Structure 1
Amino acid sequence: MGSASNAELAPLLRKLESIATLSDPAREAVAALPMTVRVVEARHDLARDKDRPTHCCVVLTGWACRCKLLDEGRRQILSFHVPGDIPDLQSLHLKVLDHSLGTVTQCRVGFLPHEALRELSVRFPDAASALWRDTLIDASIFREWMTGIGRRTAHGRIAHIICEMYLKLHAVGLAENDRCPWPVTQTDIGDALGLSNVHVNRVLGDLRAQGLIGPRERDLVILDWDALRALGEFDETYLHMERKAAA
């Protein structure tokens, strides 16, 4: 573990400024938050269902996810999280976690004390507003995922999540020119969208055959954004981004 420098908090600032406007004093206060940084390997827990955390986790590098674990090892992924996200921000006000939080890839994770976040919110109302807006956008994303799982086809669900994650990465400067990191496995996608591994593999093959995404490789390449967007019935309004890319 180690203490964070201001540079470590750049992903959080980029994320907040993609969804809200911060004054210079608020930006400086966010950059000065006390934070302990830890490298966590892939597929490890950051917090567990029923935990009572005293800090919030901010993803600095890598991908994380929220999930619920059911009987016999079954898992429902509730959301994916990329650098700048604070996936357990609700723990600032809800004492007991009702889900688990874990890494998808190796991550650098910052741990922000609840006390420091509360003080920030009191001293800087625009920072408090940005954090509140972030939780509201989380709820908006949950509604969109529920709609997709309940009513979209498998092709539509996968097209939609590709569009969503591309824009989230683009907003924090981690995607450009229709190319973005894509470290999630077919199993991860299936656990997020209620699909079998075989079904996910078939749909991804169809999207490649139709020329919507590129051949299988480490990064995801979107070849036809308009067609992918139409297939997923994707309307980015629910992401409530003030700016799609960080300066």
Structure 2
Amino acid sequence: MTPTEKLRSILTEQYISEDGDEYKVELKEGLTNQQIDELAKRLPTGQIPTEIRELLKFARGFEFFGLEEVTFDGVGQFGFEELFPNSVQLAGDGFGNFWILDVDKNGSWGSVFYVCHHPAVIVKHSDNLTQFIEHVNDFGKNTNKSNLDIIHEKVVMDIWRKGNGFIGLENARKSNDTTLKDFALSLPDNFLIADLRHKQIQNGFAWGKFGPNIGKAKRHETELIWGIEKPIKKGFLSKLFGR
């Protein structure tokens, strides 16, 4: 099912807000071909996939209770380029946390991630945009039992407290997975790796576990693999003499 087909399929759904009020998806006006072409210029290949063009012409997003809004044209709005060089900001929760879609260097629109700053965790939220729209629908119907709410309220804390989601650099350098091994060999010794290539949704990593500065973070050119710096702890004399 394409994103447009999925969005059309939920237009007749009725939802109940926390206050007991009924609401429905309210579409935002679609874009013109010229507007879509201008948007494409901000993407790696200067192109937008056919099914995404179809979606943007149908609606550039929609209003939905519990989310600030869902938008499909937020190309380059998110920032965080060290971790997501090209992305589409889809929605925010009103508290500085966002759902973003990763666009690879070939222009493919891929997985959706929930990027949280408190705790500083990234979670794979949906495999693609179609599934994300379904997850929004699921949130409207099932609220605290939905994938969206479980990630928002529980998974981020579990990753922060228990898992971290990292692979040790030495283990990665010895891996039979040549993609992982080559990436690990390209990193300095004080880095850890997060690999979400083959992970199911609700998996992620604590991007800020070692501090908020991600200026040296590395992203694999084509894969969902990241290198995060773990600062070397300085001894007393090093601190004293500024070394």
Relative to the length of structure 1, the TM-score reads: 0.29
Higher RCO, 1 vs 2 (CA within 8 Å, ≥6 residues apart): 1
Q: Which is greater in Rg?
A: 2
